[in-house]
Structure 1
């Protein structure tokens, strides 16, 4: 599986696109999770703690306001004197007047204090209110109220049910009791003040940052005196600021006042976890979508590349199947069409070269057939036999033997089955036999000089390309006069060999030079072995290309020079 992904374009593309999708999503997810968690740990928790501090200040202000309201009665000597007089007097008229004066003062306090609710004066002996700004219960036992703090003779109570006689909604309020003693009359009473009905609702925000919270009030000993969650945090139990067992289930925030009492907020620990889980589910959804999208894009890209590759493969197979005339297909993709265009150009060039090779092979075959057809000229054989006859009449048997020997060698070489190419040494030996035969036949003298580079004797050349050149010099160069022929074979500076046959015969004008190389197989007369210069010219071109062939140089009266290189 790994090798399939590693060794194929499709596999690599899938891996690259998957990595390009997974890595950014993972990095973005990790960064988002870190930011989200950091927001909860720092911003959100610090925000809750800040709200808690504000609620603590608000509660402290409420208690101070209640204390101030109580002070307006408890510290006012005129009021306290009237209350004490009221408690000991039997005069109903006087008691009525005192009651009205105190009630007027209570009304004024209620009007000027934004948090004061019920204001009452209680008899410490029976806890019965005998003066109140609003109808209350017949008995107000402050000892049953949860004590939050006691300072400077004032008892501050945590939220409890209001003493309102008509408290049908079970409204909870804060309260305080300040005791006033008169040692002269041996009387004492409580100035009792409650907060108004909506103070607790306005003070405590039970939903913070979209999550429900529970408030707790703690005394100086961290004992719970008020709880919005009594099932988990019962009143009169000690509140642990850090509870290892419950830390996984709730978060705890505490703010302490200057007097030592504390306000605490408890939030379910899994509330934030739910947000994290919700974010994680969304992240997984986005991640899976990105993964599927990457796979889809990988498939689309693969199809985009696979189609051109498939076209390339079919075109290459078409070359192997010799479909030269197959119509060209274009992909309409600039990069691939450019490569495909170069491939088509290469294919056209290949087929052109194949046609050229086929043409050369066909030309070579035609040359070989022509050579076989003209291998033996009957006229030449007839002349040779006449020569044998003349010699025989002269009773020169040795010459006859030598003549027949050379003739046999030439016929054997000309009709040889050894192949189309021979070594230079074999071609030179055939020339020597041919010259020996011709020296017996002709009466005029001609001198043949052989300048053969020994290093070329082992080189391979086409069979029967040198004799026609020498034969042409003998037949057409001298006619019936003596002359000299020079045959040279040397190495070429750029590789291969150079062969040259030159004579000092009659020569010919330039306009006739090219006619020597024209194909005369259809009607021209041949002499000797019947193989002319045109045959040699075409034979060389068949083996070495159109740019090769014989090169002829001649001037009238200065002979003729034939040369070619392999």
Structure 2
């Protein structure tokens, strides 16, 4: 399946169009999701935090209002003196007058304080109320109330059940207690003030941004003194803003007052997650629609492009099948019809050229046949030389006999039709014939030393490559003076043969070295048998690649070294002994 998508235009078009749809939608969706998630989260968190700070300010105002109400009794010397006198007096009439006066003051405080509810004076020893604005329980155990804060002799209590005698609904209220002591009369009492019944309900908003929240009140040590979710956040437990050990994943917010106590809210975040899920569902719907639309567009593009390409393929196959008279097909699409028209014109031109080439090749073949008829038959040359050799023997001309013998073998080797490649042994034998012929032709002597590795004698090499190197050394290295030529043939470590012809002749300047292999200039022109070094170099590279060929090193006055490098394992051809015969 992957290969079909990768190796066909149809598959690639589908992939490209899908990617052109999926990638932008994915990128846009990712950015949108991140932005939406960040916006919703920041909006939710900042909104909840803002509401929490407002509730903290409201609670702080409530506590200040209750404290102000308590101060009107506890800090009024006339009131505290009368209350202390009430506690030690036995005169019932006097006690009644004091009680009525204090109750009138409590009523005034209740009227002027919007958050004050029950106001009571408690005996510090027995915690029994002896004066109260509303009927209360017979004993008020303030030490059992959850302590939120104690500062400046005032104890502020977190929400607890009201001490109202008729509180059947178990309504919870805030409260505080301020102690007043008199050392002269040895009396002490508490000014106890509760908030009214609806204070807690108006203060805490339990639904924020469509999400249910739970409020917690913490003391200075972060211990819970009020909890709307005691199952998960029990009283006196230590509250942590980030609890990795908790099995419940929730959102927690906290804010602190100037006195050190704190207000916290906890929410599950379901409303936020529901908003995210709703947006994600819409995004998936749009993404699937985009994907289906891309598939439809891919099919339309495939029909628009692939059908003309199919016609092109059939037309090209028709050219390969030599269907010169195949009827022309038109697609009725301007761009494709223009290309088809040029293709048909090119096809007609190609077939015309093929006919012309065929005609010319036939004419050329006829000329070559006619040319061969006028060439001298090599057998006629051999027969004539044999006749001369017989006459020389009859006249006892031994030098002429030897010369013709060597020349005949060289001629037979050079004109041989047994193959393009021969064994090294055959090349060396031909070289020996050539050297013997040269010794007869010229009066001066040249010393040729052979160093042939026996393991190379049966290796196959191109015919007639070693003799031109020796011939070049004789003609260009020594001119008319004697010298020494060393011929060595060794196997190459990487597979192949290295043949080297070195002389101690005149040498040549560096600017002539490369010209010997590149063209037929004065330094590279052929001599003797008519085969130049450039021909040998091109022949070697034609069979064995550019890594093989001739390497020439020379120094004026010290001689020249020519190396034939044949690397059979480096991309060149290999030949067996069946390619040659003699």
**TM score, norm. by length of structure 2:** 0.53
Structure 2 distance, partners of 1:252, 1:353, is 83
| Other-structure match for 1:66 | 66
For residues 444-483 of structure 1, the aligned pairs below 5 Å read none
| Other-structure match for 2:21 | 21
Displacement, 1:18?
A: 1.2
Structure 1 distance, partners of 2:301, 2:101, is 95
Structure 1 distance, partners of 2:129, 2:149, is 23
Displacement, 1:38?
A: 3.4
Residue deviations 1:492-516 (CA, integer Å, cap 9, x gap): xxxxxxxxxxxxxxxxxxxxxxxxx
**Equivalent of 1:339 in 327, 336, 340:** 336
Structure 1 distance, partners of 2:300, 2:106, is 85
Residue deviations 1:480-534 (CA, integer Å, cap 9, x gap): xxxxxxxxxxxxxxxxxxxxxxxxxxxxxxxxxxxxxxxxxxxxxxxxxxxxxxx
| Other-structure match for 1:195 | 195
Residue deviations 1:200-229 (CA, integer Å, cap 9, x gap): 222222233333222211112222111111
State the SS of the aligned residue for 2:59. helix
| Other-structure match for 2:97 | 97
Structure 2 distance, partners of 1:286, 1:247, is 36
| Other-structure match for 1:125 | 125
For residues 163-178 of structure 1, the aligned pairs below 5 Å read 163-178=163-178
Displacement, 1:31?
A: 1.6
Displacement, 1:151?
A: 1.2
Would you say the 8 A contact 1:247–1:269 is kept in 2? no
Structure 1 distance, partners of 2:134, 2:29, is 61
Displacement, 1:106?
A: 1.8
State the SS of the aligned residue for 1:13. helix
Structure 1 distance, partners of 2:325, 2:335, is 23
| Other-structure match for 1:111 | 111
Structure 2 distance, partners of 1:256, 1:37, is 28
For residues 273-352 of structure 1, the aligned pairs below 5 Å read 276=276, 279-309=279-309, 331=332, 336-340=333-337, 343=340
Change (3 A) 1:31 1:75: same
Displacement, 1:69?
A: 0.7
Structure 2 distance, partners of 1:212, 1:24, is 38
Residue deviations 1:1-39 (CA, integer Å, cap 9, x gap): 344223322112111111111211221232233324434
Q: Which runs of 5+ in 2 are unaligned?
A: 352-361, 371-582
Over the aligned positions, Cα root-mean-square deviation in angstroms equals: 4.1
Q: Which runs of 5+ in 1 are unaligned?
A: 355-417, 427-566
For residues 346-385 of structure 1, the aligned pairs below 5 Å read none
Displacement, 1:155?
A: 0.7
Larger Rg: 1
Structure 1 distance, partners of 2:90, 2:298, is 103
Change (3 A) 1:125 1:297: same
Structure 1 distance, partners of 2:338, 2:13, is 26
Structure 2 distance, partners of 1:3, 1:238, is 63
| Other-structure match for 2:579 | none
Displacement, 1:262?
A: 1.7
State the SS of the aligned residue for 2:220. coil
Displacement, 1:41?
A: 5.8
Change (3 A) 1:350 1:106: same
State the SS of the aligned residue for 1:205. coil
Displacement, 1:276?
A: 4.7
Displacement, 1:48?
A: 3.0
Would you say the 8 A contact 1:118–1:132 is kept in 2? yes
Displacement, 1:82?
A: 2.6
| Other-structure match for 2:567 | none
